[in-house]
Amino acid sequence: MILEKKIEREVARYLELKCGKGNYKELVNIQKTRQEFTGDMTLVVFPLLRVLKQKPEEAAEGIGDHLSGSMEEVRSYNVIKGFLNIEIDPAWWTSYLNRAMKEDILADKRRDSKIPPVIVEFSSPNTNKPLHLGHIRNNLLGISISRIIEATGKPVRKVNLVNDRGIHICKTMLAWQKWGKNITPVEAGVKGDHFVGSFYVMFEQSLKKEIKKLESEGCSEEEAFQKAPLMQEAREMLRKWENGDEETVKLWRTMNGWVYDGFDETYRALGVSFNKVYYESDTYMTGKKIVEEGLERGLLIQKEDNSVWADLGEHSLDEKLLLRSDGTSVYITQDIGTAVLRHDDFNAGEMLYVVGNEQDYHFRVLQIILKELGYEWAEKVKHISYGMVELPGGRMKSREGTVVDADDIISEMEETAHRLSAELGKLGGVPEEERREVVKMIGMGALKYFILKVDPRKNMLFNPEESIDFNGNTGPFIQYTHARVCSLRRKCRDAGINEDDSFTGVDMSSKELKLLKMLYEFPSVVSQSAADYSPALVANYVYEVAKEYNQFYHDHPVLRESDRDVQQFRLLLSVYTGKVIKKAMYLLGAEVPERM
């Protein structure tokens, strides 16, 4: 955005000359010129007409003449109705490349410690089952959104809320008590989260049998569910837990500990970490206290069975249950408590919740209830909604044990990367000791890129085989492009070509200029990606860069180029491309190898 800012200042200066002093910068809107028109940047003239009092074409001509005369960077301009298309002198683009190589233009913007941090909540697993494919999309979105926002200069705090209490947790505890025979994950030789998850599936399968039996005896489905002995035992265990029963709490701590060990292993494989982890078992009491205080203040209603509700009628919504008749809390109760604790802990600027779109209504209600309870910062609560991820076999159901575990996906990606790399001979030049790490990079890069290239709001189909195509819109294609740049750099060093040297003016081909302009756009892509909370913008941008670079590489030799300045320009263009690719992939949470 270097040049756009300069044009913005110059347009504002022109307006001051014509109309007197004023705050004109907010009226200046500069966009990338559309492909069907000649130019690099386009000034939208219409917002300026209210101060210039001219026809659109006349105003655009006047500004174009001023910019041509006052800015050496402006080569020419043309006017299409109310749009001023500006063509930048090629010499400026080459000077930009020299500057980009000497300065760290790709560095994150300096963070202002006075700015309240953006809180990004993601992952939010339940301790009754391992992380699955849906959690992978959640975690990858969370880590990427966090990095992209950080790159714009805002401080970010990554947080996780573990759903470690509730009826679903009690189901696994009860199942282990009944059928676990006191065995531990270590004794069973099973990863802790998988071990506990198997008992959740066992409970649900046994519950189905009880419900079916009761239905055959004349009960409705709902009656059968309520009367089923297993459900009654699970509810009793939940009441014991909330009342602090020592034996129940001890079992809960033990089984959750098994799950946390498993989660940590998966997080490490995904490259995910958090600044703080909240636990529903801690925050739900805060939520209950806030709800009870809201009831005392007349902000909530209590029904005859003692249950507590929020009346959302004036928002054209239904009533929302906050406390059951037996005093136990529901999901939104702990979310109220967590939001308050989190805001107080960090003095949050924004509180982003990366949660699937099936919770759209939940977060709308959460924000409304926080407002009703008097929290002025409720507007800071934002739901980053995303679509479901499916496999070619269809949707997954954890209750039926048909979920594809995250660990299995990670393992399959690495195995597929190893097999395809071997078949295609991609790692032939990689030393043996590096191959394992490179295969891991390829597998995880394929997984992360394939998921993040899709607009978060859309449902997506994940196909492991398709994601590791070395020639398509995939992570491995982009990684291979980076490795190609690194290979070129090594060859140039061996040939005595110093990439630290600059170059004087060169006549660029249209393909060279196009690639350079694309690289210049990277900071604005990152800014837009942060504003939209969409890593897909960065992902699809870096693919286009990689694709454009490979065409350039094929048509514009470096080592065989006889003109020293042209050779140096092409080398630096390649090096800068590699830096942009590496930075973009970092923002997606992925690594890039130097050899493939």
**pLDDT per residue as tens, the chain (596 positions):** 689 999 999 999 999 999 998 888 889 999 999 989 999 999 999 999 989 999 999 999 999 999 999 999 999 999 998 999 999 999 999 999 998 988 877 777 777 778 899 999 999 999 999 999 999 999 999 999 999 999 999 999 999 999 998 899 999 999 999 999 999 999 999 999 999 999 999 999 999 999 999 999 999 999 999 999 999 999 999 989 988 999 999 999 999 999 999 999 999 999 999 999 999 999 989 999 999 999 999 999 999 999 999 999 999 999 999 999 988 888 899 999 999 999 999 999 999 999 999 999 999 999 999 999 999 999 999 999 999 988 776 544 444 445 688 999 999 898 888 888 777 777 777 777 788 889 999 999 999 999 999 999 999 998 887 888 888 899 999 999 999 999 999 999 999 999 988 888 899 999 999 999 999 999 999 999 999 999 999 999 999 999 999 999 999 999 999 999 999 999 999 999 999 999 999 999 999 999 88
Cβ atoms within 10 Å, residue 369? 26
How far, in Å, CA of 123 to CA of 131, rounded?
9
Q: For the chain, count helices (H), then strands (E).
A: 22, 14
Q: What does the block give as tokens for 93?
A: 């683009």
What is the C-alpha separation between 104 and 449, in angstroms, rounded? 25
Whether the Cβ atoms of residue 45 and residue 83 lie closer than 8 Å to each other: yes
Residues 6+ apart with CB under 8 A from 18: 52, 62
Q: Residues spanned by CATH 3.40.50.620 within the chain? A: 122-400
Q: How many CA atoms lie within 13 A of 353 on its CB side?
A: 24
The whole-angstrom distance between residue 206's C-alpha and the CA centroid of its chain comes to: 38
Sign for the CA dihedral angle at 428, 431, 432, 434 comes to negative
> Which letter does DSSP use for residue 313 in this model?
G
Q: CA 231 to CA 206: how far, in whole Å? A: 10
Three-state SS at 505: coil
Alpha-carbon gap, residue 336 to 322, rounded angstroms: 10
The pair phi, psi for residue 533, each rounded to 5°, is 55, 45
**If residue 87 lies in a helix (H) or strand (E), which one and from where to where?**
strand 83-88
Q: In one letter, which amino acid is 125?
A: P
Under 8 Å between Cβ of 86 and 7: yes
Please list the residue range(s) of the chain that carry CATH number 3.30.1360.70. 2-88
> What's the one-letter identity of residue 331?
Y
3-state helix, strand, coil in the chain (%, to 5): 60, 10, 30
417, 347 contact by CB (below 8 A): no
Separation of alpha carbons 586 and 576, rounded Å: 15
Q: What pLDDT was estimated at residue 329? A: 83
589: CB partners within 8 A, 6+ apart: 140, 143, 144, 147, 270, 271, 272, 448, 452
Q: Residue 221 corresponds to which tokens in the numbers above?
A: 């489905």
In degrees and rounded to multiples of 5, residue 390 shows phi and psi of: -125, 160
Under DSSP, the state recorded for 394 is: B
CATH 3.40.50.620 fits 122-400, yes or no: yes
In the chain, what is the greatest distance between 2 CA atoms, to the nearest angstrom? 91
- CA distance linking residue 56 with residue 45, whole number of Å: 7
Sequence-ordered strand ranges (E) for 110-246:
118-121, 156-162
Other beta carbons within 10 angstroms of residue 485's beta carbon come to 24
Identify whether the C-beta of residue 484 lies closer than 8 Å to the C-beta of residue 553: yes
- The segment(s) of the chain belonging to CATH 1.10.730.10 are 406-587
CA distance 551 to 577: 13
- Candidate CATH numbers 3.30.1360.70, 3.20.20.140, 3.40.50.1240, 3.40.190.10; the one for domain 2-88: 3.30.1360.70
Q: Which residues contact 474 (CB under 8 A, 6 or more apart)?
A: 446, 449, 450, 466, 467, 468
Buried/exposed 544-554: b ≥16 CB within 10 Å, e otherwise: ebbebbbebbe
Mapping DSSP onto H, E and C, the string for 106-149 reads CCCCCCCCCCCCEEEECCCCECCCCCEHHHHHHHHHHHHHHHHH
406-587 folds as: Isoleucyl-tRNA Synthetase; Domain 1 (1.10.730)
Q: What is the pLDDT of residue 400?
A: 45
Of 296, 316, 315, 278, nearest to 373 by C-alpha is 296
* The pLDDT of residue 554: 95
Tokens 């806030």 belong to 290
Q: Distance between terminal CA atoms of the chain?
A: 34
* Cβ atoms 128, 169 nearer than 8 A: yes
Type and span of the H or E element at 31: strand 30-32
Closest among 426, 468, 461 to 447, alpha carbons compared: 468
Q: How far apart are CA 241 and CA 556, in angstroms?
A: 70
Strand ranges for 178-323 from DSSP E: 276-279, 301-302, 308-310, 320-323
pLDDT of residue 421: 79
Taking the CB of residue 185, how many other CB atoms lie within 10 A of it?
19
